[in-house]
Structure 1
Amino acid sequence: MTPSAAQASFDDLGTPLSDLTYCVVDLETTGGAETDRITEIGAVKVRAGEVLGEFQTLVNPRTHVPPLIAVLTGITNSMVAGAPTLREVLPAFLAFAQGTVVVAHNAPFDTGFLRRACEALGYPYPRWPVLDTATLARVILLRDEVPNCKLGTLARHFRTTVTPNHRALTDAQATVDVLHGLMERVGNLGVHTLEDLQEFSRQVSPQRRSKRTWAAGLPETAGVYLFVAEQEASPGTAGGEAQRHVLYVGKSKNLRARVRTYFTAAEKRRRMDEMVRLATGVETIPCQTQLEADVLELRLIAAHAPRYNRRSKFPDRLSWVKITTETFPRLSIVTGVRDDGASYFGPFQRRQAAEDVVLAIYDGFPLRQCTARLSATKPVAACALAGMGRCCAPCDGSVGPEEYSALVERVRAALCSDARPAVAAVSARLSRLVGERRYEEAETIRRRLETLGRTARRFHRVSSLAACPEIVAARREGAGWDIHVIRYGRLASTGVAGPHDVPQAVARDTVATAETVRPAPHPLPAAGIEETEQIADWLEQPGVRLMHIEGDWAWPLHAVLDHETLVQHALGGAAAPLPALASA
């Protein structure tokens, strides 16, 4: 392995500074902002500390040089009168700087002139990487080291071999020494690549930047990372050991690349800046596949509830719609599923969504809405909803248990197997509201139908996987195969078949070492809802092969309809979509 190859393996996430060629440029101008006001171009091409070439030429600005500029730079009208024009000079400079990193002191000034020159003369502006030594100096050097970041001040601080004098080549030569001095200052902070050095020109707190070395030895594989804080135990604590707190859990396809971003300007979230300042280290858990990393992240968040993970805020606060098991069942919104023989529909992340579905059912079915426990043999007075035709009134004996049970079965079917009856039940009302131009009320029903359709899709994605004792599936990744064993909606094992492995043999080994999983009460999976949804996302990708399946991974035919289809069914195929009417 060559030395350059060894360096590349360490800095694979960027271009090593030692491998780059820099074109340090300086322009002298007449003081205006127009393209043809450049009076001199000076540049030094340098690589690994060695000067490869120099470029210097006066430029005829085709205008007078102001007296103040002539005094400052020493460039007079007579000096530039016989000089080549910018049209003659620019192609030569572009060729000299081709394939380099352009460096300048106050780079926006110099690159701005060069960009305008290219635009005016019809040359494509090169996409040079640019370094600004003035900006770097402001970030790297302390106030007590230099009073300001002017080129003359930095030249004295770094004891440059030449003294800048407002002539292009001399100033470029001084800037070379300043650049090397700045690089030496940041070398011990883990800055080894161009990308690292560019980050120093951005607004990143010194505390955050100083921790970038945490990423140096991390693996480049998929996995999960944890920012942790070690706190000394308070006096009197048993054992006297430091306490470890998980601040944040994340995942990535490349752990080293992802963790490094937290110490750069690429990470702009304010709470992440606070988290990095509090952290005392980073821990990583490599994973064989991206799905394994996705699932492990969810499990660790659930286990540690890190304060800086938004997802860890109330992860178990889900709602379900329950059809109770009373003599005259009713709908109830609950926060958990129990093995009590009742039917459950959901889950809902917001209680409002659960209420929308309950109201959608009430819109179409005269199910009782009271919470009292009713008796089949002791009638009581009916409520106002019965008089309005919104309840079939089992309380006063208007319907018996058998007739009411048939109604409940239609409700159960509308929620769990066929959404069309729920739509048909409100079609007349919805059509009437649209015909009467009562768009706000129609929009409310549309929103309830949309929530019903969206939740039904989630319900069947989760419950269908939860009903399968085992699924073994594979998907090609690169030259190999990612193999996963899913049991009752939980990721039980992961394997990877390389290009020279037999996938079936790897699958058998993966099944043999898989976690033993027990089913949860229907319709819950044996894992968190989010984990099962992550698995469903992976299984539904193109290219996934089912190697073995035990159970039926299937949805009822009409269980899931998108909300537009639901509305069209309810309107009897009306041509105008309801959202457009609702916004009228």
Structure 2
Amino acid sequence: TVRREPLPEPVGSVGSTVSIGPVSPRSTAQTVAQALTRATGLRSCTGRLGSRDDFHWCRPDNAVGGCMAATERPESVSDYLPRVCTALDAAHGRSDAALRLLAESVTTAALAEHFETAARRRDELAATVRVLGAAQRLRALCSIEQLIVARPGVSGGWRFAVVRHGRLAGAGVSRPGAPPMPVVDAVRAGAQTVVPAPDPLRGTPAEEAALVYRWVTATDARIVDTTDGFALPRGSACGWDAWAAAARSARTGNTRAGH
């Protein structure tokens, strides 16, 4: 979560409109938070700023763990704002600029022959892609007021699911050879009413949303009706899935070679 204050920092909680997750284990959440903080330049100092504070100033130093928003002079709210926008764009999938910066840090370390650093940065980026991609997939599903999906039945006919804000609100089955739309209409009419919450997943538990997402995106699934488009944002981390898969493969190969 990006804390709500004039000069925000990332914190380890969920539930706000700009949160990512939930993420487990906690070590992965910390890895992703640190990677995004480094890429976006959000402040990583532990001091809490008051509602009336209008500037931030951590002086640069060479110490490990220094503030990522350290500057030579005090930085105003307007100066700090681009950092926040970059972080929010990464969270919402509006831009992958932060991911590109993380990828550049991998390349820079490798070219300098700092191979352990490059491997660590590679693994951090792979984890970040996985976490952001999962969050953006579920956010896309849970933003849809109503989605009706059909999949073929085991013995013919169709299985239908009515999904509202990521929740399974209703389900039904049509018999082989029977007209399917009357079943769809009946399932839709009897589906549970879902009142969305203001958080990214509209109040739907992430585990439930993930199960529903896998069902409605199966290769044999067909969209019957939807109130909104079912799509990922242009700058989604999902565009980095191939990169992350290659990184995981490289890590697995190195681990086996080490044994």
- Name the CA distance, whole Å, in 2 between partners of 1:465 and 1:564: 22
Counterpart in 1 of 2:5?
326
Q: Secondary structure, in 3 states, of the residue corresponding to 1:368? A: coil
In structure 1, the partner of 2:168 is 491
- Corresponding residue of 1:561: 239
Unmatched 5+ residue regions in structure 1?
A: 1-321, 571-576
Instruction: String of CA shifts for 1:475-494, please: whole Å, max 9, x gaps.
Output: 12122111111111111111
**Paired position in structure 1 for 2:47:** 372
Aligned counterparts of 2:104 and 2:148: Cα–Cα separation in 1: 47
- AA aligned to 1:337 is G
Report the equivalent of 1:445. Answer: 121
For 1:456 and 1:526, the matched residues in 2 are separated by 18
Describe how 1:208-223 pairs up with structure 2 within 5 A: none
* Residues 503-553 of structure 1, C-alpha deviations (whole Å, 9 max, x = no match): 111100111111111112231244322221111111111232211101232
Partners of 1:355 and 1:445 in 2: how far apart? Answer: 14
TM-score with structure 2 setting the length: 0.84
C-alpha offsets along residues 440-484 of structure 1, whole Å, 9 cap, x if unaligned? 221211111111111122112211111111111111212211111
In 2, are the aligned partners of 1:471 and 1:549 still within 8 Å (CA)?
yes
| Distance change (3 Å), C-alpha of 1:399 and 1:566 | farther
**Which of 545, 548, 551 is the matching residue for 2:225?**
548
User: Normalising to structure 1: TM-score of the pair?
Assistant: 0.39
Q: Distance in 1 between matches of 2:56 and 2:86?
A: 25
Counterpart position of 1:415: 91
Displacement of 1:554 in angstroms is 1.3
2:27 equivalent in structure 1 = 352
Counterpart in the other structure of 2:146: 470
Q: Which residue of 2 aligns with 1:213?
A: none
CA contact (8 A) 1:488 1:519 kept: yes
Counterpart of 1:484 in 2: which secondary structure?
strand
Secondary structure of the corresponding residue to residue 35 of structure 2: helix
Matches within 5 A, 1:393-404: 393=70, 398-404=74-80
* Residues 424 and 566 of structure 1, relative CA distance in 2, 3 Å threshold: farther
Task: Give the secondary structure class of the aligned counterpart of 2:101.
Answer: helix
Spell out the pairing of 1:250-399 with structure 2 (5 A cutoff): 322-334=1-13, 336-338=14-16, 342-374=17-49, 382-383=58-59, 386-388=60-62, 391-393=68-70, 398-399=74-75
Q: Whole-Å Cα distance in 1 between the matches of residues 187 and 245 of structure 2?
A: 46
Question: Rg: which structure is higher?
Answer: 1
Change in Cα spacing, 1:414 to 1:379, as seen in structure 2 (3 Å) is closer
Question: Equivalents in 2 of 1:379, 1:482: separation in Å?
Answer: 57
Alignment counterpart, residue 132 of structure 2, candidates 432, 456, 459: 456
**After superposition, what is the alpha-carbon deviation per residue over 1:14-60, rounded to whole angstroms, capped at 9, x for unaligned?**
xxxxxxxxxxxxxxxxxxxxxxxxxxxxxxxxxxxxxxxxxxxxxxx
Per-residue deviation, 1:390? 5.3
Find the counterpart in structure 1 of residue 157 from structure 2: 480
1:237-264 Cα deviation digits (max 9, x unpaired): xxxxxxxxxxxxxxxxxxxxxxxxxxxx
| Contact 2:18 2:88 survives alignment (8 Å) | yes
Which secondary structure does the structure 2 equivalent of 1:561 belong to? helix
Alignment deviations for residues 130-165 of structure 1 (CA, whole Å, 9 cap, x no partner): xxxxxxxxxxxxxxxxxxxxxxxxxxxxxxxxxxxx
Deviations 1:99-138 (A, max 9, x none): xxxxxxxxxxxxxxxxxxxxxxxxxxxxxxxxxxxxxxxx
Equivalent-residue separation in structure 1 for 2:243 and 2:181 (angstroms): 42
Q: Work out which of the residue numbers 191, 194, 213 in structure 2 matches 1:536.
A: 213
User: 1:333-388 CA deviation, whole Å, 9 max, x = no partner?
Assistant: 11x414xxx511122121111111111113322211123233565767625xx334
Equivalent residue, structure 2, for 1:502: 179
Counterpart contact for 1:347–1:455, Cα < 8 Å: no
Q: Which has the higher contact order (CA 8 A, sep 6+)?
A: 2
CA distance in 2, matches of 1:352, 1:407: 24
- In structure 2, runs of 5+ residues without a counterpart are none
Contact 2:103 2:125 in 1 (8 A): no
* Aligned residue pair count: 249
